[in-house]
Structure 1
């Protein structure tokens, strides 16, 4: 990799020193700081592609006469495919490098987005979401691991904070931009995906210049296999996986049913207003994620459980009384809960996992989170079709509350002294 200050793509001119045109230099590669932010962009794309269709589900349902079961099925195929990719390819970046895995993933996401932009019927939606799932499955673990590795020695806590914020940025972009384009621009079911395609194409171009050998510390040849968790990481993995899974399961109510809840139960017909309401989830997540950097992981996860439970109570109340201000409070508080749970879980495993296992272990955590996301979304879609949207939302709130109880129980079972020892060892790194 080229030494010296971080390079931007524009810096590689033919008459400039320190660039890829120098004799005997390596192929043009980005510097550490720039690579960190490109990896953050890849993290943001995982939530942007996940949330991009959220505001269009009601429009597709109206245009093609789809039931709640079908629309949540379109949503669910995405986390199911993500989980399938993580099962077989979760640790591939530990062998082939973060750059190669990221390029494969962003390319698959781009192809899936183009399918949604061109979709003539619902089968194309399923295919597009499947390719998006492949893309996110290939990039979720590697991009998160790359942020840790490009953040510098001992900056795991900073990487966890920026990862949380990057996800929130992708979420907000999908909901606000999507809502604005749907409400005020032509081609309401298409333009949103064309814009995302352009963003993904630019991200693919930037990722092409990432360092080529980062993340290739694993020994031997790679072969498809289920994720493996070393014995000494299993306690940390259990706590982190429970926290991240609980956080991600919020996505069922926000991404799969959220826009329909806002339109049908709360009574807001404006797509931008609904997108703004749902984006409070991500905005609160980003704001709280910045403040969470000062918290120990145990405190963050405990606070996240409390905020999540309160958010679910408020969501049920908003649905029962068709009250928009309560719905806004529910989305914001749930976003705070998501952020604290995700940050606490990610920081727990980032601090514990060595680099040669980091990609695989992170992918295993995302695997559990996406399996939960797909299973709960299919369940709630079937319930909404059979018993109504309000009942499905209440059931979903109950499921998330149950996951929260499991998470806080695992946190409580983790020996505080052992946790303090682990994070004291990292204290110097996190300053």
Structure 2
């Protein structure tokens, strides 16, 4: 694909979100990256000036952007006539000689772009990172009144993609166009004890097919949607690994992975588990196991409040007491006594406010005897981080990662600071020395 073909696509869009990364070299602003997305939401122009590095978020029509690209091709420069920014921007790339790769991706699968609700096509050109870029990457980015980032790479992911850096890629994109595919997409998948209820939206949703593939137990099924955009798919058992594909003429438009929690490269967005407490806990025990949102404990231990602290500093979660490490129901002797022990320990040793509640589940063990399993539901803390005070008075901060509790690192604190800055209207961050 060449730049002329991209321009032909751009003119069809009424509203585009344009994000730029510029590097200042005294005489002019040099264009380093350009990211374009089609969008319906119009926002005011934002300029984030870190001195040597500047990020711009701007909204233009497709026709206007095509004209800007034409200026880049002929003159190698362009400018924005906005109240915030009107500097001349240099483009040292010969667009007529650049080839662009095109690939199709489901939402939530690429660079952690979780904000995309629809499947999207990525059109981009990539190039090796030059020496100048490496030097900037090693430096922290900070400016009074702006968010702090430990590296340029973190700032790029935040301002260009609304997410955080996850890998060290030796390539970077110069031009990137993210186009939402509005033909058909998964609007919601409801998971319950009977199977799946799938809702599909889009211009061509009624002529698509659903394809299911799973393991343990194996599932392979194809379901035609016809004119229905909502369909019930009964399942004898829910697979531990279930992929649901939305297909149009054998082209996969959208994909969902049926699993609780959010994974970096698994499109779990818009997958909802039915809020039936009895089913939920049995499904967690039988199919999901321990993970980022679930933890098992056979009986009371001081590790329970530490796990609660880790959940509160992450996305929340549940501690199930009365389940052994193999996922077998053993129950607790006295649920009220357990609750009292946890609360006393928490009040004596925890620092910070955490919303929590206790749910008592009657479940049957392997011999058919009814046991009581206590679920301690921990909400994500509104004010982070939550700390645990040890015997020597030292405060330790924990975060839930990959199904385990780990002491927070510096980058974890940076992550919380960035989230707090983004949600400053409702959330405050307290760092204790």
TM-score band, normalised by shorter chain: under 0.3
TM-score, normalised relative to structure 1: 0.22
Bigger strand share: 2
Bigger helix share: 1
Larger RCO, structures 1/2 (Cα 8 Å, 6+ apart): 1
Which structure has the larger Rg? 2
TM-score, normalised relative to structure 2: 0.22
